[in-house]
Chain A
Amino acid sequence: MSISNLVFAAITMAYGIMFIVTRLQEMAQAGSLLLMPLIMVIVGFAVAVLGIKWILASVEIFSSIEELKSAYDAKKGQMTPEDSTGFIIQMINQYRTNKATIRTMILVCTAGGFCFLVLGIMSSIEFVSAGLPSGMITLNYLLIPSAFLSLGIATVSLLCSYYFRRYASVWDMRLSEISRSENVLEKTMEQNSP
Chain B
Amino acid sequence: MSERRTRYEIYWEILVFCKTPRSFTGIINRCDLNSKTGQEYLELLCRKGYLSLMKDHEKTSYIATERAAEYIALFGHLYQTLFDEIPGFKL
Q: Identify the A interface with B (CB < 8 A).
A: 1-2, 62, 65, 68-69, 72, 81-82, 84-93, 96-97, 163-164, 167, 174, 177-178, 181-182, 184-186, 188-189, 192-194
Contacts and interface: CB of A to CB of B under 8 A. Distances in A.
A134 B44 CA distance: 86
Contacts of A92: 9
A69 to B, nearest CB: 5
B89 A65 contact: yes
Q: Which DSSP category, helix, strand, loop or mixed, fits chain A's interface? A: helix
B2 interface: yes
Given A2-B91, A84-B87, A89 B74 contact: no
7 contacts: A84-B87, A88-B80, A96-B2, A164-B91, A178-B79, A188-B70, A193-B48
Chain B interface size, as a band, is 20 to 34
Contact of A185 (B4, B74, B80, B89): B74
